[in-house]
Every structure is written in structure tokens, then in C-alpha cells.
């Protein structure tokens, strides 16, 4: 029980930079854990649609940058954290239910592949959980999560460019 209270305190009291770094590490650590069995057992991912950036020949356009770094974080934070958090207050859902609803909705719109959806499910869970924790301390909740989402997307774009063009 102490660890959860300590985590709430850390996330609730973190400044914007600390908060974004915590979220960046948490989401990427979760991605690594999800990817590990796929790589170890050489499992094939199931593709549902083309990704925005071709991993074999990554190129960034202004449209992709604006979408990934500005529009998606702002709109997705509004829909999948703020709006769903309001459901909690209206329908008296508990935090676990809200985190699951948010994560499922978040992963459903990121339906490029099965592996990507699994990763975004956990990423969406983290976004909603930290949104709840931040809202309890009234620490610019919406903008904290939107900025963390934007930084996560910037990191992902950077990693695609670096590791697929070397």
C-alpha cells in the first residue's frame, strides 16, 4: 500500500518536466516488456492497416509532425482522458473501470497492428492513470498529459528515424 501512495505523491507533486519524463519512461518500459516475447519467440505481428510512417523508409512530413506532436495529443487527451474522466464523475465508476475504458478506446484508434494495439492499450492505461493522479492534486492535468503524449510521440518519431535509417 505504501508504494501506491508514494507513487501518487510523486506523480501528483512532480513539475511538468519530471511528470513528462516519468510518463515517457513508464510507457517505453511497458512497450519493451510487450515487445520482448514477440522478439524472443519470433512471433509475427498481425497488420491491420498501414502505419503513418513506413518503417522501412521513414520520412517525416509537416503534416505528420503537426498531427503527431500537436493535434493527436490535444484531441486524444480530450477524448480519452478528460471526457472519460467526466464519465467517472457522472456515472460513479471506480478508477480501475475508467482506466480500462480509456485504454480500450485509446488502443482501438491505434489499430495499425495487434502488437501496436497491445502497446497503446498499456500506454493508454498509463495516460489515464496519471491523469487521475494529477487531477487529484489539480496540477494542470489536461496539459500535463497532452504534453507527455506529445513528447512520447516525438520520442517515437525520433527512434523510427534513427534506427531505421542507419
Question: pLDDT at residue 52 above 70?
Answer: no
What pLDDT, in 10s, does the model give residues 63-91?
889 999 999 999 999 999 999 999 888 88
This model's pTM is above 0.75: yes
What pLDDT, in 10s, does the model give residues 102-123?
999 999 999 999 999 999 999 9
CB 30 within 8 A of CB 114: no
Whole-number Å distance between alpha carbons of 42 and 34: 13
Whole-number Å distance between alpha carbons of 124 and 81: 9
Amino acid at each position: 500500500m505504501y508504494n501506491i501512495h508514494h507513487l501518487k505523491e510523486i506523480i501528483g507533486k512532480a513539475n511538468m518536466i519530471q511528470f513528462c519524463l516519468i510518463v515517457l519512461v513508464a510507457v517505453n518500459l511497458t512497450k519493451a516488456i510487450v515487445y520482448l516475447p514477440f522478439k524472443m519467440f519470433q512471433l509475427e505481428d498481425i497488420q491491420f492497416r498501414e502505419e503513418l510512417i513506413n518503417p522501412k523508409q521513414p520520412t517525416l512530413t509537416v503534416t505528420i509532425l503537426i498531427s503527431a506532436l500537436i493535434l493527436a495529443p490535444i484531441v486524444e487527451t480530450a477524448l480519452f482522458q478528460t471526457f472519460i474522466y467526466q464519465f467517472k464523475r457522472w456515472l460513479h465508476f471506480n478508477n480501475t473501470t475508467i482506466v480500462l475504458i480509456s485504454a480500450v478506446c485509446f488502443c482501438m484508434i491505434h489499430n495499425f497492428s495487434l502488437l501496436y494495439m497491445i502497446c497503446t492499450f498499456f500506454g493508454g492505461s498509463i495516460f489515464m492513470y496519471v491523469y487521475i493522479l494529477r487531477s487529484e492534486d489539480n496540477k494542470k492535468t489536461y496539459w500535463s498529459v497532452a504534453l507527455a503524449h506529445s513528447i512520447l510521440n516525438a520520442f517515437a518519431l525520433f527512434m523510427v528515424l534513427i534506427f531505421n535509417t542507419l
